[in-house]
Amino acid sequence: MSARVYLDWNATAPLRPEARAAVVAALDVAGNPSSVHAEGRAARAIVERARAQVAAAVGCQPQEVVFTSGATEAARVLQRPGKGCDVCVQDTAHDALWVHHDLTNATERPHGPGHTLAMGLANSETGIITEPPERTHGQYPYGALRADWLFLDVTQAVGRIPFAFSWSGADFAILSAHKLGGPKGVGALIIRQGLDIEPLVPGGGQEMGRRSGTENVAGIAGFGAAAEAAVRDLAAGVWEPVKKLRTLLENAIADTASQTIFIGNEAQRLPNTSCFATPGWKGETQVMAMDLAGFAISAGSACSSGKVRESRVLRAMGYDAVTARSAIRVSLGPTTTEDDIGRYVDAWTAAHGKFQARAA
């Protein structure tokens, strides 16, 4: 029996050896990072080393990094923009941003001082990269709206494309360790120096008063190690071969199924992400068929793919409901091989043939 092939890197990247080693080493440190004795200081040193590693990867200052349980918790800052503030969320943004505000009619809302534009730098479902607007006259334009603050979800972008918080113009950014090959359950909120927020979690005042609760020392250590390794890989060009494999995949599928639509293939995308739809062939059906064949893929983002529904992102992009229900995401990584792609195409083609036979 052939080994399974993991093609769902946008959901979670496999744990990096460097991150695993950092987690194991940190588990042996007994102290609480808030304690002032030697054991506590040792734990604090691990946290601060990781803070510096994450800051270097994101292109910000260490004091701008606030550790959280993940990007979703970090996005809770959108619930705390301050009195008289409002938030405009990009229509294709991740659900983690949308759950905090119902902004279906955001462009009709009055806008004034203190408004925040929240958007994703790279879409988790399609891989499409959206450059943030440049700040002009002290505000960020977004359609008819003008926002004073810019909030970026860089969860899928960091480590895969060049990014630096310092030159992005953003005031806030969020990311998660497990997208970089770090452990699950740890992430970060980046806050531009000089800004202040209400605590994400009130309590003991950890994380400079911005997120209380004893820090997840082992998870944070793994986060830092993964961030450092991810940036090193990016500089070494590991994603260029991945992009070529993505092209190989899409060309092979296109030769087999001419009616298949490749979402965003003419746009600037992450090098590893392919989102395509065969109208009428439900995405969840394809995911199950590929799983049985030994391949892990997704129908949409990991946070929503377990729900049987059409892709909100594709609907926002103008695709009809049938197409939005038929989309799958195949996301590759540096360990993906040409043989993996060939085997996947063969399995998908066989399943597609059965779909056509049923539809005839």
129: helix, strand or coil = strand
My answer on whether 155 and 211 are in the same domain is yes
Rounded distance, CA 133 to CA 130, Å? 9
* 52 and 132 fall within a common domain: yes
For the chain, give the percent of residues with pLDDT over 90: 72
pTM: 0.91
- Expressed as residue numbers, the domain containing 147 is 18-234
Q: Please give the tally of structural domains in the chain.
A: 2
Contact by Cβ (8 Å): 128, 267: yes
The 8-class DSSP code of residue 128 comes to: B
Catalytic residues: 303
Task: Write the pLDDT tens digit of every residue in 262-312.
Answer: 999 999 999 999 999 999 999 999 999 999 999 999 996 555 445 556 889
**Cα–Cα distance between 292 and 296 in angstroms, integer?**
9
Domain match, 204 and 285 both: no
Q: Is residue 7 part of a domain?
A: no
Tens of pLDDT, residues 24-69 = 999 999 999 999 999 999 999 999 999 999 999 999 999 999 999 9
pLDDT band at 81 (very low <50, low <70, confident <90, very high): very low
The arithmetic mean of pLDDT across residues 125-139, rounded, is 90
Q: Are residues 143 and 34 in the same domain?
A: yes
Task: Point out the domain boundary residue: 173, 203, 234.
Answer: 234
Residues 199, 254 share a domain: no
Confidence at residue 108, expressed as pLDDT on a 0 to 100 scale: 34
DSSP one-letter string for 57-100: HHTS-GGGEEEES-HHHHGGGGG-S-TT--EEE-TTS-HHHHTT
Note whether residue 49 is domain-resident: yes
191 shares its domain with 63: yes
Per residue in 142-197, pLDDT (tens digit) is 776 788 899 999 999 999 999 999 999 999 999 999 999 999 999 999 999 998 88
Hey, which bits of the chain come out as E strands? 5-6, 65-68, 87-89, 116-120, 140-142, 145-147, 149-153, 172-176, 187-191, 261-262, 273-277, 295-296, 327-331
Looking at residue 84, its amino acid is G
Residues 19 and 222: beta-carbon distance below 8 Å: yes
Q: Which of 255, 314, 278, 341 is nearest to 127 (CA)?
A: 314
Residues 186, 85 contacting (CB under 8 angstroms): no
Look up the CATH number of the domain holding residue 187: 3.40.640.10
Is residue 211 located within the same domain as residue 259? no
